[in-house]
Every structure is written in structure tokens, then in C-alpha cells.
């Protein structure tokens, strides 16, 4: 029988419920328990796949092809487990199921209502992963307590607290304890109000995690405990951390895991085994070198748009004991005139995934620079497609080459809509999604990187390399080094002879975790380090002669 921990949030959004949930899960996992996390989102979209990054940050794709919330990325990066469609549920999906059932006649004769029909469906889904053999299922409830949309979820938690044995269910409430500069004080009132709001909805938190800029004094803890009706040990300080990867250790110091285990009456557990995690943190904190990597995209002003890529850099940097300084470069503002200036201080270049026309030409100009200057290049999805277009235009001499996504009338559609996509009209959940196999050419860079002939990676795209041009590309020196064995779809392109030039149709960033950093990112950062060293040697000939 699984036990359930619910994580709710109060006062404001962006307090880091996902990180707190993932950190708690990490600690429980490190104590030998099997844990999974799921997220319930209160919006009406069936999934976040149709939301743009301004609305919702990155869309995270799971192995089974679900388009999900980016918090699932944190869960996977912290726990090194795979999540699935079942780990992310929205109001839209709940209503869709209930309405479909109503049409089928499942409720014949009855009025279908939020309570009990919607809440029953929420509860059914909340318990679904509990049947998969996990000891603990953590459920993060999106949104903030008090939002109209969150009410059915809070109500479902209230009902579950009654239905499940008392020791099988626990509620953690994350709240903000702001510091008022003028008063020189931490303020507990927003927390009191938010817990009161929860209580009005019939849910009483067992543990209160307080996001704060300053340490909580014993007095403040006592006050929160008193007003919020919890034990003082259940008031947890979550101070701002220099990196999200510190948070599990901070939560361990606050004994968040121990308090949960006690309340859930779990007695079989070990001391936390976190040696790999600590080793990673150590390398992260004390890098021996530094590289500057240009990240080219059209959403670079948004913190969350390229979340998994940024985290994969952190993982790969730690392996290389190298600080990865990410230089955000807006693709819309790259021109042939300013590209030298924008790229000259970089040690590597990553062209990001994306959709639509905006910023495309800037990406192509940046790829050209990387190709011509031997600058390590890594293109992901749209980034790979841009590398193909650049090569077609500037090496194959197909000056109007393009993707039919941007120019449906191009005379040279080197990137074209996949056959299976041609009849698709619906936008939600209809791309080529999730994990597919790729076979690697044994003599390729890709094979050296992965060290095996077959890999699986996750996808999210509609367009692909047009195989009608494959021979021309191969003859001209761009090699398709990875292909899907069934569809022969090109998954990887590279340019042999260039120090590091690789484009992938899939999304490797989605599979990089603290304990399993992604090999392409690891090799990319290594190539950046080597590039930086070569650059330094040219600047400093003395060093060069020493190196020889």
C-alpha cells in the first residue's frame, strides 16, 4: 500500500513547490524508499503542449510521449526515474474524462457535478500511481490556495484524508515568509492567512515549509506553529539556495524527511545515501575551469523556456569540473554584420529547439559562423534543422533551401513535413512525441559519444530531414550518423573534420539527470573546454610551446 504526501502552495506562485517536492522525494529515495511524484495542474488545457513558453515555460516530454509540465523535468533530474502521462494531470484532462463518460452513459439518470464526479475522478487519478508498487506517491497541486481553479483539487485532498488511513496521508504546505526591509522583520501574517484559507476548505497542513530570504528564528517558528496549529518541529525553513541542487541537503538539515516518515509511521528506512549527489555538488561548487556557451533562441529572456537545456549544462559542467557560463543570444538580433562580434568570445554554441519563423535567419547565420570557425556546435531539433538548411545554402549551393515550416513554397525543402503529419489537423498531442530508437554509424562522433550502436531518445517535432537530399549532403560532407531503423528518419547529422559539430532531431536535454548526465552534453562541454584551451594557447604562445 502506497502512502500519499500532498504538497500545496500558498501566498504566491513561483515559491518552488516543484523543487521542494523533488527534494523531499530525493531524501526519501536516498533512505531506500521507492518514490514517485505527480503534478496536478488546475488549468483547462488538456496538457501544456499547446501553451507557448511565455505562458508556461518549457514543455517537458516523457518517454511515453506525454507533453507535460516542466516540474516533471525536476522530478526526473532529481530522482533519475522516468515519469509518464499519469504523472501530470490537468483540470482539462479530468473534465474531458468525466464528459466522455457522461456521453457514454456512465452516469445515466444523474446530474453530473463537481462534487462528487469531478472530485472522484481527481481522487482516482491521485491514487493511480499508488497501485504501481511505490512506497510513497508525492502529489504536487499546482496553483495557489485560494485560486478558484484549485478548489476541486483541495476538496479531493480533504476527502482523501478521510478515506485513507490517517497514517497514510500527509499535507505539506509551502508558503512565503517575507522580510520587510522597513520593519527589519520577517512577517508571518501571509502564512497565517494562507493556512487559514486551507482550513476553511477543510484541509489542515501537517508541515509548513517557509520560503524565506532570512533564517527563521526560534521565536518566528514558535509563532508560526502556534497560529497555524502545527508542532514547532513541523515548521521548516526553506531559505534561498545558491542552486536548486542544494535544496535536498537543506531540507535534510531541517529534518523534513524525518518528520514525514514519523507522521506516515514508516519505520523501515536507512541513513540517506547521497554520496553521488554530494560529489556532484562538490564539483559544481568548485569548478577548475570555465567556458562560455552561447545559447541561441527566441525566448532567451524567459528563465523557464530552455529549463532542461540549462540544467543539462549544469550536469555536464560538473562532470567536466567546469563552470558553464551561458551567454543568452537572441536569434532575432543576429545579422551577418554583427555575428563576429557576438560569437567571438564564445567557446561553443547551442542552437535551441523552437517553432515558427521568428529568429530563423539569425540562427542560420550563427550556425555558419560555428561551422566556419571550428566553434563546437550543438543543434537540438529546430537547431539541427537550421544546421541542415545552412549547409544546403552555403555548401550545396541551394540558395533558397528552407524548411517547409517557414517557407511552404521553397524550391529546396531540405526539411519537410513528416509523411505521418500530412493528414494531421489537430494541434494537441499530435506531434511525433516520446521515445524512439536510433541506430548509430559505428565510425561517427555520435557513436564515440554514446559508446553503443543503438540509443533511444525523446522527440517533439513535425518536420524532418528530407531524405531526397541525403545523397547530396553525404557527398558534400555532412553525415547522417544516426537514423531511425524503421522509418530511416535522420536523427543525427555531423560534419566529420570539424572539431565538434552535431545536430540532433531529438531532445537529449530531457534525459540528463544529476546522476546520469547526458553524454552529448558532457562531450559538448568537453569540446568547449578544448576550444577554450586552444584559444588561450594561440593568445599565449609560451603556453603553446609548453603544451607541445
353 binds ligand GLN (CB under 6 A): yes
- Residue from 31, 461, 523, 526 in contact with ligand GLN (CB under 6 A): 461
Vertex 465: Cα angle to 459 and 467 (nearest 5): 130
460 binds ligand GLN (CB under 6 A): yes
Query: Closer to ligand GLN at the Cβ: 152 or 354?
Result: 354
In sequence order, what are the residues at sequence separation of 6 or more whose Cβ sits closer than 8 angstroms to the Cβ of residue 161? 169, 171, 203
Does residue 507 carry a catalytic annotation? yes
Using the rule CB under 6 A, give the single segment among 30-38, 238-246, 342-350, 457-465 that binds ligand GLN: 457-465
The CA-based dihedral angle spanning residues 480, 481, 482, 483, taken in that order and rounded to the nearest 10 degrees: 40
Vertex 499: Cα angle to 497 and 502 (nearest 5): 90
Quickly list H helices, 16-118.
17-30, 53-56, 71-79, 91-104
Using the rule CB under 6 A, give the single segment among 152-160, 209-217, 281-289, 455-463 that binds ligand GLN: 455-463
Rounded to an integer, what distance in angstroms lies between the CA atom of residue 214 and that of residue 170? 27
Rounded to an integer, what distance in angstroms lies between the CA atom of residue 4 and that of residue 24? 13
Q: Of the residues 381, 405, 459, 494, which is catalytic?
A: 381
Strand, coil or helix: 297: strand
Query: Minimum CB separation from ligand GLN for residue 506, in Å?
Result: 9
Query: Closer to ligand GLN at the Cβ: 461 or 483?
Result: 461
Q: Of the residues 402, 412, 507, 523, which is catalytic?
A: 507
Half-sphere exposure of 413 (CA within 13 A, CB side): 15
Query: Minimum CB separation from ligand GLN for residue 502, in Å?
Result: 15
Query: Minimum CB separation from ligand GLN for residue 462, in Å?
Result: 4
Query: Closer to ligand GLN at the Cβ: 159 or 484?
Result: 484
Q: Of the residues 58, 254, 457, 509, which is catalytic?
A: 509
Q: Are the C-beta atoms of residues 416 and 464 closer than 8 Å to each other?
A: yes
462 binds ligand GLN (CB under 6 A): yes
Query: Closer to ligand GLN at the Cβ: 23 or 68?
Result: 68
Query: Minimum CB separation from ligand GLN for residue 353, in Å?
Result: 3
294 binds ligand GLN (CB under 6 A): no
Rounded to an integer, what distance in angstroms lies between the CA atom of residue 487 and that of residue 169? 47
Query: Closer to ligand GLN at the Cβ: 106 or 424?
Result: 424
Locate cell 491514487: which residue? 127
> Per CB under 6 A, which of residues 381..410 are in contact with ligand GLN?
381-382, 405
Rounded to an integer, what distance in angstroms lies between the CA atom of residue 270 and that of residue 357? 53
Using the rule CB under 6 A, give the single segment among 258-266, 323-331, 348-356, 445-453 that binds ligand GLN: 348-356
Query: Minimum CB separation from ligand GLN for residue 382, in Å?
Result: 4
Q: Are the C-beta atoms of residues 4 and 130 closer than 8 Å to each other?
A: yes
**Interface with ligand GLN by CB under 6 A: which residues?**
353-355, 381-382, 405, 460-463
Q: Which residues form the catalytic set?
A: 381, 507, 509
Amino acid at each position: 500500500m502506497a502512502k500519499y504526501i500532498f504538497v500545496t502552495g500558498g501566498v504566491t506562485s513561483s515559491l518552488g513547490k516543484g523543487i521542494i517536492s523533488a527534494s523531499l522525494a530525493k531524501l526519501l529515495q536516498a533512505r531506500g524508499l521507492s518514490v514517485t511524484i505527480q503534478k496536478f495542474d488546475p488549468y483547462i488545457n488538456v496538457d501544456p503542449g499547446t501553451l507557448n513558453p511565455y505562458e508556461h515555460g518549457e514543455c517537458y516530454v516523457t518517454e511515453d510521449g506525454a507533453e507535460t509540465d516542466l516540474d516533471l523535468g525536476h522530478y526526473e533530474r532529481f530522482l533519475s526515474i522516468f515519469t509518464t502521462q499519469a504523472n501530470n494531470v490537468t483540470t482539462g484532462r479530468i473534465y474531458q474524462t468525466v464528459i466522455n463518460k457522461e456521453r457514454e452513459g456512465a452516469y445515466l439518470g444523474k446530474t453530473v457535478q463537481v462534487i462528487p464526479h469531478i472530485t472522484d475522478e481527481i481522487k482516482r487519478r491521485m491514487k493511480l500511481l499508488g497501485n504501481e508498487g511505490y512506497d510513497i506517491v508525492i502529489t504536487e497541486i499546482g496553483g495557489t490556495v485560494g485560486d478558484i481553479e484549485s478548489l476541486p483539487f483541495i476538496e479531493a485532498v480533504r476527502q482523501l484524508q478521510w478515506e485513507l488511513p490517517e497514517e497514510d496521508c500527509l499535507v505539506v504546505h509551502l508558503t512565503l515568509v517575507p522580510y520587510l526591509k522597513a520593519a527589519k522583520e520577517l512577517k508571518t501574517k501571509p502564512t497565517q492567512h494562507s493556512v487559514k484559507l486551507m482550513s476553511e476548505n477543510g484541509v489542515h497542513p501537517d508541515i509548513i515549509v517557509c520560503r524565506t530570504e532570512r533564517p527563521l528564528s526560534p521565536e518566528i517558528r514558535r509563532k508560526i506553529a502556534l497560529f497555524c496549529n502545527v508542532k514547532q518541529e513541523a515548521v521548516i525553513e526553506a531559505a534561498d539556495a545558491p542552486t536548486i541542487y542544494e535544496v535536498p541537503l537543506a531540507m535534510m538539515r531541517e529534518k523534513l524527511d524525518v518528520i514525514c516518515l514519523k507522521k506516515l509511521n514508516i519505520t523501515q528506512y536507512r541513513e540517506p545515501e547521497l554520496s553521488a549527489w554530494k560529489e556532484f555538488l562538490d564539483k559544481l561548487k568548485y569548478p577548475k575551469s570555465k567556458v562560455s556557451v552561447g545559447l541561441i533562441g527566441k525566448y532567451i529572456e524567459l528563465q523557464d523556456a530552455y529549463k532542461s537545456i540549462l540544467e543539462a549544462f549544469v550536469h555536464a559542467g560538473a562532470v567536466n569540473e567546469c563552470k558553464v557560463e551561458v551567454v543568452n543570444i537572441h536569434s532575432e538580433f543576429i545579422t551577418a554584420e554583427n555575428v563576429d562580434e557576438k560569437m567571438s568570445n564564445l567557446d561553443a554554441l547551442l542552437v535551441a529547439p523552437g517553432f515558427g519563423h521568428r529568429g530563423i535567419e539569425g540562427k542560420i547565420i550563427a550556425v555558419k559562423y560555428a561551422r566556419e570557425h571550428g566553434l563546437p556546435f550543438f543543434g537540438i531539433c529546430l537547431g539541427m534543422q537550421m544546421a541542415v538548411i545552412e549547409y544546403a545554402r552555403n555548401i550545396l549551393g541551394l540558395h533558397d533551401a528552407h524548411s517547409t515550416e517557414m517557407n511552404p513554397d521553397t524550391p529546396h525543402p531540405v526539411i519537410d513535413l513528416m509523411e505521418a503529419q500530412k493528414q494531421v489537423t489537430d494541434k494537441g498531442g499530435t506531434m511525433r512525441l516520446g521515445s524512439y530508437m536510433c541506430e548509430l554509424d559505428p565510425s561517427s562522433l555520435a557513436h564515440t559519444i554514446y559508446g553503443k550502436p543503438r540509443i533511444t531518445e525523446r522527440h517533439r517535432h513535425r518536420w524532418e530531414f528530407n531524405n531526397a537530399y541525403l545523397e547530396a549532403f553525404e557527398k558534400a560532407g555532412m553525415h547522417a550518423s544516426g537514423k531511425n531503423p524503421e522509418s530511416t528518419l535522420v536523427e543525427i547529422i555531423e560534419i566529420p573534420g570539424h572539431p565538434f559539430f552535431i545536430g540532433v532531431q531529438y531532445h537529449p536535454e530531457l534525459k540528463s539527470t544529476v546522476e546520469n548526465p547526458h553524454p552529448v552534453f558532457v562531450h559538448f562541454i568537453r569540446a568547449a573546454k578544448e576550444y577554450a584551451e586552444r584559444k588561450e594557447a594561440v593568445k599565449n604562445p609560451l603556453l603553446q610551446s609548453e603544451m607541445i
